[in-house]
Structure 1
Amino acid sequence: MTDLPLEQAVRIVEGAAAGDVAVHSVFDEATFTATHVVSDPATRKAAIIDSVLDFDPASGRTSHESADQIIAYVEAEGLEIEWLLETHVHADHLSAAPYLQQRLGGTLAIGRDILTVQSTFGAIFNEGPDFARDGSQFDRLLLDGERFRLGSREGIALHVPGHTPADMAYVIGDVAFVGDTLFMPDYGTARADFPGGDAQALFRSIHRLLGLPDRTRLFLCHDYKAPGREHFMWETTVAAERQGNVHVHSGVTEKAFVAMREARDATLGMPRLILPSIQVNMRGGNLPEPEDNGTRYLKLPLNSL
């Protein structure tokens, strides 16, 4: 990870007018997840970032209420989907990318380091040779600093590991979609204790993002409402994070952050949907193949995480 992609991202933001792209968000309270639709007003081209497949773990049933809200918005606004972007392999919700792609089209993309996640969790779930570990479940694997187009707007992918090895942020116009790397300033930062996570890498990734211009709008993947706050929120700015993030505001050293993050993570339980989520999301949102009785199954490894 070098500074050159960040410098390119800074130029993209600086070259964009305020509100250069439009963002519409749908929040799923069941998983505390914000899905974002970002569009270029000039061309009506759009991307969907971090979608949600509704899943009831007690019954094993899936449904599409959250994704259908996205479809309704896209159709009502006359948007054309160019991209389905995943910031990482989520551990707290299942991706609806295949369903949305079938209905709306678009190129499904994630960071190139998905290969590391597939290798790690392929072993944890004892996946056989039929499970590809080459990222081929996705249409495109993005490298750090790789540029792409959204209509007439330029975007760039930034590798921001720490929460997982494969986290990506996407800068489009004056906006950055940062996944789980940062939360609202009053809530802090992502955990870094999943397999492949690293608190030191997370600190450095956060500071990379905080190197964007102050006015950069940051859209987050989750919000859990900090104590005393009544409403869910998922939009902030680089300036607000730098000044007020309770975990990593200006003046917090890497050593202090790592000590805080590791101590805090040691007290956290595993996310409610981590086992089904990872099995599905490392497959690009696809469910495991049916077994000989026609039923699909998700594994529950005991005493592994």
Structure 2
Amino acid sequence: MTDAVQPTVADDVALARASEIIETARKPDGKRPVIRTFFDEPTFTASHVVHDPATRVAAIIDSVLDYDAAAGRTARSSADAIIAYVEKEGLKVEWLLETHAHADHLSAAPYLQERLGGKLAIGREIITVQETFGKLFNAGSDFERDGSQFDRLFDDGDSFRLGEVEAIVLHVPGHTPADLAYVIGDAVFTGDTIFMPDFGTARADFPGGDARQLYRSIRRLLSLPAEARLLLCHDYKAPGRDDYVWETTIGAERAANVHVHDGVSEDEFFDMRTKRDKTLSMPKLILPSVQVNMRGGRLPEPEDNGKRYLKIPLDSV
């Protein structure tokens, strides 16, 4: 995305194709995926298992590795719950999809891949993230900054299938340079780009973030058919709401998103987002999360004493 005027749906080939996939899936004989969500309350993260009911082919989106920061211990209970579901339902995992390099939780993708198979994928701009954070963490020459930790680097408009269900990738930068949305049948998995209508939108003050770019990415997503299901990566229970919710629709966001509903201009959004971001503290797990997730969810290699270490750069973030 650039500073150029946002293209119309007709001119945006990837967006037009995404709209076509959604509309086709919503026809009476359309191929709509089944979605099961696992919510990790400590990190407020929604991980989604999406599958084709005809072939049982599945993808796992934005998985969580449990991490106790105070003790420096990892655990796999969240990932094991996903494994149990996949095995019970007889699903065949072909994709482990990351919407971006998360700053609030560690990915469990390598563990799930070891147990269930599938290709690990993320957006090609992970290379930009690796360059930025490789320097911050002084990762050294052994850390490859070419995305090779992943099996597939997606570009905007790339397509794939889950069995008989069509899918396409949309690049939606702004929160980070690498954010993707996955359109799978009539469902859109947006990562951190947008939240429930009563909570608003993602922050844009991380390295490589851009509030104007985020606005354009969101408006691009909101050009999709109003009936499309929208599956979010996080929920934080907006004031006055007692339950966690992670599914809405494109139409609901256009009508009522408190930050970016129809009628909000780019300048208005930029001013709001910039002022709001200045009031936010850094995510509690940003330092361990990013240095693991930029490696595709893999922990750093053991040092000469056999132990693995995560670095905490001082006075840097």
**TM-score (norm. length: structure 1):** 0.99
What residue is the counterpart of 1:180 in the other structure? 192
Aligned equivalents of 2:111, 2:95: Cα separation in 1 = 13
Q: How does 1:206-285 map to 2 (within 5 A)?
A: 206-285=218-297
Answering whether residue 306 of structure 2 is matched by residue 294 of structure 1, we say yes
What residue is the counterpart of 1:5 in the other structure? 14
- The secondary structure found in structure 2 opposite 1:6 is helix
1:203-252 CA deviation, whole Å, 9 max, x = no partner?
00000100100000000000000001000000000000000000000100
AA partner of residue 279 (structure 1): Q
AA partner of residue 25 (structure 1): T
What residue is the counterpart of 1:138 in the other structure? 150
What residue is the counterpart of 2:209 in the other structure? 197
| CA root-mean-square deviation | 0.8
What residue is the counterpart of 2:4 in the other structure? none
Number of residue equivalences = 305
Shift of 1:17: 2.5
Aligned equivalents of 1:107, 1:140: Cα separation in 2 = 7
What residue is the counterpart of 1:99 in the other structure? 111
* Structure 2: gaps (5+ residues): 2-6
Shift of 1:149: 1.1
Answering whether residue 29 of structure 2 is matched by residue 17 of structure 1, we say no
* Structure 1: gaps (5+ residues): none
1:132-155 CA deviation, whole Å, 9 max, x = no partner?
000000000000000011111110
Aligned equivalents of 2:166, 2:252: Cα separation in 1 = 25
- The secondary structure found in structure 1 opposite 2:111 is helix
Answering whether residue 180 of structure 2 is matched by residue 168 of structure 1, we say yes
1:183-209 CA deviation, whole Å, 9 max, x = no partner?
000000000000000000000000010
Aligned equivalents of 1:256, 1:92: Cα separation in 2 = 27
- The secondary structure found in structure 2 opposite 1:34 is strand
Choose the corresponding residue for 1:45, options 42, 57, 68: 57
AA partner of residue 16 (structure 2): E
- The secondary structure found in structure 1 opposite 2:182 is strand
- The secondary structure found in structure 1 opposite 2:307 is coil
AA partner of residue 128 (structure 1): G
Answering whether residue 101 of structure 2 is matched by residue 89 of structure 1, we say yes
AA partner of residue 16 (structure 1): A
- The secondary structure found in structure 2 opposite 1:299 is coil
Shift of 1:159: 0.2
AA partner of residue 28 (structure 1): D
Shift of 1:4: 1.1
Shift of 1:126: 1.0
Q: How does 1:106-145 map to 2 (within 5 A)?
A: 106-145=118-157
Percent of aligned positions that are identical = 70
AA partner of residue 82 (structure 2): I
- The secondary structure found in structure 2 opposite 1:98 is helix
Aligned equivalents of 2:161, 2:239: Cα separation in 1 = 39
Q: Which aligned runs of 4 or more in structure 1 are off by greater than 3 angstroms?
A: none
- The secondary structure found in structure 2 opposite 1:103 is helix
